[in-house]
Amino acid sequence: RQKAGLNRSIAGEAWGRTVTLLEYKTRDRGGQVLKVPAPGTSQTCHRCRHRDPAARNGTRFSCTDLACGWTGHADTNAAINIRNAAGTAVSGRGDLGAARSAKRQPPRAA
């Protein structure tokens, strides 16, 4: 019942409109939105690229390739795969992600 409510909530969200607005805003600020297909990212080892559905056991991922054998959290593995698929993407604020300034201080009164 709880899952059905979550599914209704997700279905009610305007994902297409959200993506369109995100693309518009990032383009306006010199950024770029990259769409990365998520299927299989949690079943593929980010180190050796070996894909095996049996490698994922709940929240654990254990690469079944004997030469690799990487073990870790399945969501972490999937996130690394998505990051690698995006390549050299910039942050949503253009190239400011790497060289973001320190916390701004208010101007001092004279």
Say what the pLDDT of residue 7 is: 76
Going across the sheet that includes 71-73, the strands are: 56-57, 60-62, 71-73
Contact 28, 92 (CB under 8 A): no
Say what the pLDDT of residue 102 is: 55
Phi, psi for 86 (deg, rounded to 5): -75, -20
**Ordered mean pLDDT values, 10 residues apiece, the chain (110 residues):** 75 77 86 79 87 86 86 88 70 48 61
